Structure 1
Amino acid sequence: MAAIELADLHRLATLATDAEAALFSQHPQGSGRYAGRLLGRALCQGAALHYLDEKNGVKDFDVWSFYAGYGDWPFPARWRGTRDFGPSKFGRYPSDSPNYSGRRVDLLGRSLPVPLGTDPAEALRQYLAARRTASAKALAAKAVILIDPLDRAGEVVWPV
């Protein structure tokens, strides 16, 4: 039930950056095409609610990265990375694998049909409000907090 602070949001952004860099280097002609097209990253779902109210518990951290899309090649929607937040004030979730010394961080990504340079909060609000996909509906049911760009970490995107 510890508060999620700015330093924690920055750590989550770094974990996502590192995981995606590995993904891009392994698949330069596929997902690697999205290197340099990041709109923003966000903490989503239950942990984002916890950031807002400090009442909702934190089972894990769901971090989503959103990219300016290419018309002919979406970011691989089925990609899911995981990382270990590491020892921290959040402890570890008892049901997680013993491989995790801290809370599990689930990493996901989507490309959005917007041009590079679009304001990340505005792009995300449009995506969430439209609720065209199961992912958008699930994310809109809880909360979305920007974690990257770093200078906007902690900005509430959703609910509006």
Structure 2
Amino acid sequence: MPEMTVQVRWPDGLSRQYYSPSLVLHDHLAPGTYRVDDFRSRATLALEEASARVRAKYGFACTSAAESAEAIAGDAARHADSAEVEVVSMYPPLPGSEVSTRGVASLRPGSTSSEDTGIASLRPGSTSSEDTGIASLRPGSTSTEGAVPLSTEEDS
């Protein structure tokens, strides 16, 4: 059963990551902005479904999904229902969907390397993934045409 994490930025600026034992969160959420009450409802419903999938497969509920749901409820309780919470990223993406970085680096949980982003990065004119760090390309892209420079050697 594939697991996933969701990165969320709360109205007070706190950034939190929540675990799900299933990709079912993609059925209820996508990167973007939600009212706190809507996010809490969608996320906890999705985590209940994820836990039910674990129960169906293994014969017991997922306590980590319950812990994530409790953490979301606790974090949501600190904010007005009408405030806005942002789903920054969901990892891994659904198969076949593009990785959206929304202008920031997106790393796998626990990763410190851009090699784990799922995004190819090449210097303009380079054909080697060893030559990284300047232009960021979409997965599967083989051209730097239209790529936006992330930095230049002068910036270093």
- The TM-score normalised by the length of structure 1 is 0.25
- The TM-score normalised by the length of structure 2 is 0.26
Larger gyration radius, structure 1 or structure 2: 2
